[in-house]
Amino acid sequence: MTNKILGQVLLSAALLVSAVAPAMALDYEAKPVNWVLQAPFRTVGAVSGGVFSGVVSGPIHHSYHGFLKGENHVAGKFGDEKGWGQRVAAVPIGGATGLVVGGAYGVHKGFWHGWKKGWEHPFSRWSFITMEEK
């Protein structure tokens, strides 16, 4: 019987905290009304930019550059970074490794890039691509 009552009390406390937490987090006194009204739109822009950049744009961008960096590194270790034979031999070792590691790194970096740019400028083109703004 006490377990049932304890479970009900804990569930009620969790429900109360989840209902009060957003009001405490927003702090309407400190934030301007414009910010509060733009927050849902900015959140959707940040999530969409983060998901697209983390799934598509970031891995493509970073896997390409990781492939080149890995290939150049291994070709340099073989003797000549610009040599044709060294570059061909370096592709399966350094290029493939750089492709996989760069793609994994691009997921993380692309998501956070899209999140930040999507929050600052929702649904802008810079929130969906990982290239630097010029």
**pLDDT of res. 9:** 80
The encoded tokens of residue 93 equal 């070792």
The encoded tokens of residue 103 equal 């793609």
Asked if 38 and 73 count as a contact pair (C-beta separation under 8 A), the reply is no
**pLDDT of res. 27:** 58
| pTM as predicted | 0.67
**pLDDT tens string for the chain (134 positions)?**
687 888 888 887 777 666 666 655 665 566 677 777 888 888 898 999 999 999 999 999 999 999 999 999 999 999 888 889 999 999 999 999 999 999 999 999 999 999 999 999 888 888 888 776 54
User: At 121, phi and psi to the nearest 5?
Assistant: -135, 85
**pLDDT of res. 30:** 64
Shortest CA distance to 117 belongs to which of 98, 102, 130, 101?
130
